Amino acid sequence: MKISVLSELTPSQLSHAAALPLCTEDISKDAPLPGLPKDIAKGVREWVQHTGFNANAREFSLCTLHTPRGRLDIFLLGCGPEPALHAGILRVAGGRAAMEARRLAINNVDLFLSHSERFANPKPWVRAFTTGFIEGTYHIRKSANAKPSALSIKALRIVTGSKSQLVIARDESVRGAEIGGTINRIRDIANRPGNEAPPRVIARESQKIAKSCGLKYSAWNRAELKRQRCNSILAVAQGSKEEPYLIQLTYPGRKRKLPPLVVVGKTITFDTGGISLKPGKNMEWMKFDKSGGMAVLAFMSLVGAVLKPDRPVIGLLAAAENMPGSTATRPGDVITSRNGKTIEIINTDAEGRLVLADALDVASGLNPACIIDFATLTGAALVALGRQVSAIMSNHAELSESLQKAGERTGDRLWPLPLYPEYAHLLNSPFADVKNIGDGTAGTIIGGMFLKAFVKPGIPWAHIDLTSAWEERPTSHGPAGATLFGAALLAEWLDSKGPETT
């Protein structure tokens, strides 16, 4: 898809479809809608009056005008009241615009941002809209040799209204397209079911991605994990015939002596719960228990191919399958994790924290500037926060705040939960240093407290418990399946201050 940015578009240059993000303030009678060709502004105003379109966030209306130049389809994209506007709303609007364009077999779309002062500064709107627009073009391939859809959008033109910001807007649109494109590429892996994407396949795909993005690839298999005393990862994998892998992707950076940023992803390729078996209903979604790792993979691919920071960046994917085979761990089993702490496994379904325990210990040994982990760790996070926002827990206030701010600028929003020392006793075990579950209260925080015990003290660390790593049905702005929540957030965070915030 060709994406271009212009300061204005005369009526004769218009495509046959336009996207128009509108806040509720824009649709009052006297709001001028400058920056739109006059007859279009008038047509939109009449349409809004006629249909009662309110411009609520996610509201959509297809406004068709018959102009002297022919038919013009205008996507009215509701963005809600201006004070509550954030980048996520524009990202969703972008997705919706692409979905509608595909539905109507439209090849060229003009996005207008010229009708309101609020978009005059292109950050973060252009990046968010473009990311969402590209994400909205994604479709699940139902078989490996399925033909690419004929419904492809050829061009997106972004009309900014402001000449002085043109260069920034262009850069932001390029970055947005790179982020959206990378997310879509990794979605092809993330959407694969458990049988098609066991840890060895994730390792192979990671190696391919690494090769194409200029990253170094290495992986520890079962034998190497044994040598490295990663007993906690091995314990999770021991009920499965699939070999676990700790996959490492390294971007060396120009200043290779600087302490690296280390990102870690829970990559359980299927979570049955193990001997603490999950109920059958809805278990199929546990193919998305690798989502943390998939977000890390997408981020690392962006690091190598486009972000190219000075500082080294390392991605770790702790990949295993959690199965209830005859060799599986039993409730009550005690293991010795890589950092020497003993763990009593009370519930084999709390496996994410076990693979992460060893991965965080490996990360701690890399002299990191900071560590950020992503994981579908607890169902409790979804209960507490819903799909609208994921949970962040951290031992470092500035790191947590900077990640939250990057979340607001991308739509991958985060909300903090505390890791007070008063929670720690809930993990006490009579038989080991810690047990892997608490008493059922504060499930998400307990997950965070457990992980904290495996990060070397003094290292800034943040843990993100994902609530919206996948969609169970197609949404207004994208297909069902993996969302790669976290990839855009990390890219934005690194692009701004990144590890310098710690």
Site for ligand BES, rule CB under 6 A = 271, 289, 347, 349-352, 376, 378-380, 382, 437, 443
Question: What type of residue is 416?
Answer: P
- Helix (H), strand (E) counts: the chain: 13, 19
For residues 131, 148, 186, 86, the Cα torsion angle rounded to the nearest 10 degrees is 20
To the nearest whole angstrom, how small is the minimum distance from the Cβ of residue 287 to ligand BES? 11
Rounded least distance, CB 342 to ligand BES, Å: 19
The residue among 100 and 271 lying less far from ligand BES, judged by its C-beta, is 271
Please list every residue from 280 through 309 that binds Zn ion, using CB under 5 A. Answer: 289
Q: Which is nearer to ligand BES, 20 or 350 (CB)?
A: 350
Tell me if residue 278 is catalytic: yes
- β-pairing, 461-465 vs 370-375, is parallel
DSSP 8-state secondary structure symbol assigned to residue 146: P
459 binds, among Zn ion, ligand BES, none (CB under 5 to 8 A by kind): none
- Shortest distance, position 336 Cβ to Zn ion, whole Å: 21
Nearer CB in complex with Zn ion: 205/271:
271
Told to judge if 353 belongs to the known catalytic residues of this protein, a careful annotator would answer yes
Give the count of alpha carbons within 13 A of 245, CB side only: 24
386 binds, among Zn ion, ligand BES, none (CB under 5 to 8 A by kind): none
Q: Which amino acid is at 242?
A: E
What 3-state DSSP class applies to 263?
A: strand
Quickly count: other Cβ atoms within 10 Å of residue 446's Cβ.
25
Count the residues in the chain: 502
Which residue of 73, 349, 373, 465 would you call a contact of Zn ion, by CB under 5 A? 349
Does 172 sit near Zn ion (CB under 5 A)? Answer: no
For the bound state, the minimum distance from the C-beta of residue 271 to Zn ion, rounded and expressed in Å, comes to 4
Instruction: For residues 498 and 296, give the distance between their C-alpha atoms in angstroms, rounded to a whole number.
Output: 15
| Residue nearest ligand BES (C-beta atom) | 379
Strand arrangement, sheet containing 17-22: 2-6, 155-159, 108-112, 17-22, 70-78, 60-67
Q: DSSP character for 79?
A: -
Q: Which does 347 bind (CB under 5 to 8 A by kind): Zn ion, ligand BES, none?
A: ligand BES
What DSSP element (H or E) covers 352? helix 352-364
Q: Which amino acid is at 156?
A: L
Give me the catalytic one of 290, 353, 435, 452. Answer: 353
373 makes contact with Zn ion (CB under 5 A): no
By a kind-dependent CB cut-off of 5 to 8 A, residue 443 interacts, out of Zn ion, ligand BES, none, with ligand BES
Q: Which stretch binds Zn ion (CB under 5 A): 41-49, 261-269, 328-336, 455-463?
A: 261-269
Question: Cβ 187 to ligand BES, closest distance in Å?
Answer: 18
Instruction: List residues with catalytic annotation.
Output: 278, 353
